[in-house]
Structure 1
Amino acid sequence: MAEEDIEPDQPLTPAGRLFVQPQMEQVINCAIAGEHPIDVDAIRYEVQNSIMLKHPRFCSLMVRDSCGREHWRKTQIEFSRHFIFRHEPLSHDPSLSDEDAVNDYIADLSVYSPLPSDKPLWEVHLLMAHNTAVFRVHHALGDGISLMSMLLSCCRRVDDPSKTPTIAGLGSASSTAGLRRRWGVRTLLKVVWYSLVYVLEFVLRILWLRDKTTSLSGGAGVELWPRRLATARFLIDDMKIVKGAVANATINDVLFGVISSGISRYLEIRSSKAPQQGLQITGLAMVNLRPQAGLQDITKLMNSNSGTKWGNKFGIILLPVYYHRNSSNPIQFVNRAKAMIDKKKLSIEAPFSYKIGDLVMLLFGAKLASILNYRIICNTTFTISNIIGPREKITLVGNPVKYIRATSSSLPHAITMHMLSYAGVADMQILAAKEIIPDPKVLAKCFENALLEMKEAAQNANKS
């Protein structure tokens, strides 16, 4: 190749540089289970001809220059190195379901299996005995919104194979896009006040403010501990029934109400001594900062001139939930969650977290930015993200999809939760450090039961 034809290296974005630091390295693991056996040739052909490989980040090595700065360097893809085959069953225990076996496999990947740096940072693991493909993509290549939008561009609708899944009008439950604010004097004062309060708390969390220790607490070094992975399943229709019982509530409010109630239930089961009423347990919630909420039009994401940006375009907010003993009205958990989230929506906490990260990276480098991010994780208790996926059933290379689930590499948190909806069902992957939370299925059941009790209370309220 002539020297003038060689493409110059491209620097990583600030967020990309953060996710390749040893303390913060993150890989997204997305499992797609099919109803029929995997057609290996069809999967390989689809990936090789997908829009994914038109994006330079998926065809580039991550390299460091003499100053230690990270860059993308274009390379030739050896497809045989990107497809990992497991033909035998993942477990010889006949009582273990396919879903549990896949969860155990991903739990091990979340701790022990970084992506090799001598090839582009993605892999496809084909679990032949379980009809499941696990797509592993380094977080430096993009966030959940970007990567899920790209993955679904390879899928088709069951009811109309000529069409891709419906993404127009979808909203991410953790997105700031689409907020409608009336900028009166009173609202403006609230915006200023809540922004000051939440930004100050955010800074204090980085410096020294820490949650009280509970049976859910992690800390420095916990990201290296073995993990277990469990799934909590929610019907979107059930969440809508609960939403209807609280004026102006959203699915997001219901989700965080369920988390608050479920955590309270779990603490009652696991704690030798009942926690103090109102005990704060703080999480980090991922917030999409793109102008359009939810999944994106992949062609717009790939267009650098589009206002919708590819990559890692999200901020984080502190999400406090509070321990409350089970009451006669479980809807109160949703009321409290809504009141808190309404205040968060009026603040600039999410964009502040994004901009301050960029500023620290620019002025002091990736190492300090990594240390600060690591500290705020150590000073809180859990991580939560939520993406609204396809509304209808879909196929991947003609194979009907049973479920889509996503999680990421382990963090200093003892518990991380990633929820993704698909065709009326929301699956929340609960990744737990098993020495701290040995029974994540119990925690998953606490969340599921919390929603069912809220649904029953909402239905009873409607009858009366």
Structure 2
Amino acid sequence: MESFTKGLKGRKSALKPVQIPTRDDNDMIESDGEPLSPTAQMFHEPNFNIYVIAIIGLKNHINPRVVYDKLPQSLLKHPRFSSLQVVDDKNDGIMKWVPTTVNLNNHIIIPNIPQTLDSSDKFLEDYAYNLSKTSIDSSIPMWDLHLLNLKTSQAEAIGIFRIHHSIGDGTSLMSLLLACTRQINNPDLVPTVPTKKDSESGWSSSYSSRCGGPWWKRWFVVVSMVFWLVWNTLVDVGYIMATALFLKDTETPITSHAGVELNPRRFVYRTVSLDDMKLIKNAMNMTINDVAVGVTQAGLSQYLNRRYGEGIKDEGATEEKNNLPKKIRLRSTLLINIRPSSGIQALADMMEKNTDAKWGNWIGHVILSFAIGIKDDPLDYVREAKATIDRKKNSLEAICTFSLASLVLKLFGIKAANTISHKAAARTTLGFSNLVGPQEEIGFYGHAIEFLAPSCYGHPHGLMINFQSYVNKMTIVLSVDENTIPDPQKLLDDIEASLKLIKEAVYAKGLVKDDEGGLPQAAFT
């Protein structure tokens, strides 16, 4: 495997200063670049040096020449992908974006693949694992694309995008994907993603359901909602501050230890039915995100019960009798998009039309508690998830954490801001995200996409769980430190089995009839 990653640089702990050159007729570099955002700067700190990695399964063989020809017409039009990130030593070390000429030979990597393999899936897993040991040289724009004409159990070929997190957050990168791809059935159209209806937002739906009657009742409801918004925000921000200072999660078999962000990662994924998740969503009047968190809670509970019970005869776990400690504080750090726009689709449309868009890292941190325990009623997992998420919706936690991080950076510098953010994340157990993908099948420069499996490495958790929807599929992606999760496929088994168990419980309780084939599809939220 070392021969296949030859030429990749060893991982670097931080961005090194680069002297900003002046404009020259032979290149496009300018000296007065735009400063990086506070969050983008933090992603270059040694203990927060994070890369996004997206494994893309393709339905047909990759034609590298097409990729070489098409990239300049799409991806490279975006300034972040054709700019250096440099430190201006003459201006207090401020990091800036400086346009440059892109040599695609430095960014497109086509590894040699042996003619015979024991397992192509294992080869791909090892390739991505070795990739996580490396970083991208800061003397070029910090992204690369790996093209593998490798037939796996799920795809005919594989593309791996690796992008430094300073370039953009998940919403930005998904929007860029939409802007660079086209619908298979309508090649002239960009893909679409489900958007959240205004009527389904937490405040509007709550207000409309409670604000009937006389004026004094409406006034009381508004005052009450404002009070709880302020109160919840204060509690949540205080909780994050306590976490940054001293509040740790319970030590469990999946707790990682100091320095885990420097370890390489295994990336494993499993594709399940999005229609199954929609069925649960509609039957229980909740969102896809509620279902994703509930299924994850159930899967983690089963996995931890097994890990705690190693060496003990398995006699079946119940709510009253299992191997789990009575109380477990297990929390996830979520990165939340705080853009005021309606979401990914609006950003993709703006990028397609070459208009200004909220590109970059417009994200705030939220700490979400996971209810770990064995439930006799599987639906309790999603009910508890919905209650937790509904409570988080009535809070400005994400906006406040983004603003506080920016304030700390301005007042005390990047080191202080990074220390606080890193400690708050490192004292939780895992990272979690749920990203909405295209509703239609899409093609990347004529290559039809089978699945999308995004994740990251360089974060201070031993476990990262990503849910990524695409057409009628949901791909669950795990990024794991092998010392923390030595058997990630078993964790995927538990999450998949939990989804099946919850779906069966929905039918068993009569929330949906067998012959209906599921309830009518509602908007994805």
Aligned equivalents of 2:232 and 2:353: distance in 1? Answer: 35
Partner of 1:124: 145
Aligned equivalents of 2:174 and 2:183: distance in 1? Answer: 15
**Percent of residue pairs bearing the same amino acid type:** 32
Aligned equivalents of 1:330 and 1:229: distance in 2? Answer: 28
> 1:266 pairs with 303, 306, 325, which one?
303
Residue identity in the other structure for 2:255: S
Aligned equivalents of 1:78 and 1:353: distance in 2? Answer: 38
Partner of 2:343: 293
Partner of 1:166: 192
- 1:59-98 aligned at under 5 Å gives the runs 59-66=82-89, 67-89=92-114, 93-94=117-118, 96-98=119-121
Partner of 2:448: helix, strand, or coil?
A: strand
Aligned equivalents of 1:5 and 1:394: distance in 2? Answer: 34
Partner of 1:309: helix, strand, or coil?
A: coil
Residue identity in the other structure for 1:125: H
> 2:387 pairs with 326, 334, 339, which one?
339
> 2:374 pairs with 316, 325, 345, which one?
325
> 2:78 pairs with 55, 60, 74, which one?
55
Residue identity in the other structure for 2:392: K
For structure 2, the residue ranges without an aligned partner over 5 or more in a row are 1-23, 152-156, 208-220, 311-322, 514-525
Partner of 1:358: 406
Structure 2 CA distance for partners of 1:304 and 1:155, relative to 1, 3 Å = closer
Aligned equivalents of 1:365 and 1:40: distance in 2? Answer: 44
Residue deviations 1:86-145 (CA, integer Å, cap 9, x gap): 1314x9642x243x43233223323x1111111011111111234111111111111111
Alpha-carbon offset, residue 311 of structure 1: 0.7
Partner of 1:153: helix, strand, or coil?
A: helix
Aligned equivalents of 2:55 and 2:222: distance in 1? Answer: 46
Is the CA contact 2:299–2:498 (under 8 Å) kept in the aligned structure 1? yes
Query: 2:49 aligned with 1:25, yes or no?
Result: yes
Residue identity in the other structure for 1:14: P
Partner of 1:311: 360
Residue identity in the other structure for 1:56: P
Partner of 1:107: 129
Is the CA contact 1:177–1:290 (under 8 Å) kept in the aligned structure 2? no
Query: 2:289 aligned with 1:252, yes or no?
Result: yes
Is the CA contact 1:289–1:314 (under 8 Å) kept in the aligned structure 2? yes
Following TM superposition, the consecutive aligned residue runs of length 4 or more in structure 1 with deviations greater than 6 angstroms are 2-5, 302-305
> 1:143 pairs with 169, 173, 179, which one?
169
Structure 2 CA distance for partners of 1:4 and 1:425, relative to 1, 3 Å = closer
Residue deviations 1:356-378 (CA, integer Å, cap 9, x gap): 11111111111111111211122
Residue deviations 1:289-346 (CA, integer Å, cap 9, x gap): 122134444352588985x51111111211101221141x100111111111111111
Partner of 2:461: 413
Aligned equivalents of 2:142 and 2:125: distance in 1? Answer: 22
Residue identity in the other structure for 1:270: R
Structure showing greater Rg: 2
Aligned equivalents of 1:232 and 1:33: distance in 2? Answer: 12
Partner of 1:153: 179
- TM-score, normalized by length of structure 2? 0.81
Is the CA contact 1:107–1:431 (under 8 Å) kept in the aligned structure 2? no
What RMSD over aligned residues (CA atoms) do the two structures have, in Å? 2.4
Partner of 1:220: 258
Aligned equivalents of 2:203 and 2:472: distance in 1? Answer: 24
> 1:372 pairs with 417, 420, 432, which one?
420
Deviates more, 1:188-197 or 1:17-26: 188-197
Matched pairs, number: 452
> 2:65 pairs with 41, 45, 68, which one?
41
Partner of 1:166: helix, strand, or coil?
A: coil
Is the CA contact 2:49–2:458 (under 8 Å) kept in the aligned structure 1? no
Structure 2 CA distance for partners of 1:63 and 1:226, relative to 1, 3 Å = closer
Partner of 2:318: none
